[in-house]
Chain A
């Protein structure tokens, strides 16, 4: 079984719809992240969470919200999707105890907003 899983893997939606992307991990890590990846722009941080009670905005949080339901679950919501949110979305985790904060990524969700 994969350590970091994301659902759905692909999603097509329409402008204005609310959509939720989910991330689960079995690595036992305390820290979780959401990134989006666009061609030529690399990975951009949307939100990150140190633990269940801690949520922080990343560099591109506008139009997104998150929920950390449990240590192992971190979901990303688009309240009213727009076409320029079409991208590949990745969840990642890291373990503060290691001291390196190496991040481990899920397989990604390809989101298309029409």
Chain B
């Protein structure tokens, strides 16, 4: 079993739809949670970062973390064609004095149709 599971999709939605992207994880020691967006032929770029349970909002994007269920989500409101990309969840452990190695999900490919 992978430490981080992510539905690979592909997911196709009409413009304006609400999109829900999800990851589950097995290691309860993960404390930091990130969402990266990767456009075709580009490197991943950080979209959102959180380290606590609950919701964090940034414009049309909301990141949700439920540590008791080991489940994280990214919601995209009023989705746009420019949101079409692969979305990767990533998480890391608390560590003192050393780089936090990221464990990535396999990514969900999203297409928003005009």
**B residues less than 8 Å from A33 (CB atoms):** 99
Q: Which of A13-21, A60-68, A79-87, A96-104 contacts B (4 or more CB under 8 A)?
A: A96-104
Question: Does B45 interact with chain A (Cβ within 8 Å)?
Answer: yes
A-B interface pairs (CB < 8 A), number? 54
**A residues less than 8 Å from B90 (CB atoms):** 43
Q: Mark B36-70, 1 if CB is under 8 A from A, else 0.
A: 10000111111001000000000000000000000
| Chain A, range 71-113, C-beta contacts under 8 Å to B | 90, 92, 94, 96, 100-108
Question: Does A45 interact with chain B (Cβ within 8 Å)?
Answer: yes
A residues with a Cβ closer than 8 A to B are: 4, 31, 33, 40-45, 48, 50, 58, 90, 92, 94, 96, 100-108
B residues with a Cβ closer than 8 A to A are: 4, 6, 8, 32, 34, 36, 41-46, 49, 88, 90, 92, 98-102, 104-107
- Contact sample, A vs B, 13 pairs, CB 8 Å cutoff: A40-B106, A41-B106, A43-B90, A48-B101, A58-B101, A94-B99, A102-B34, A103-B46, A104-B46, A106-B43, A107-B42, A107-B43, A108-B42
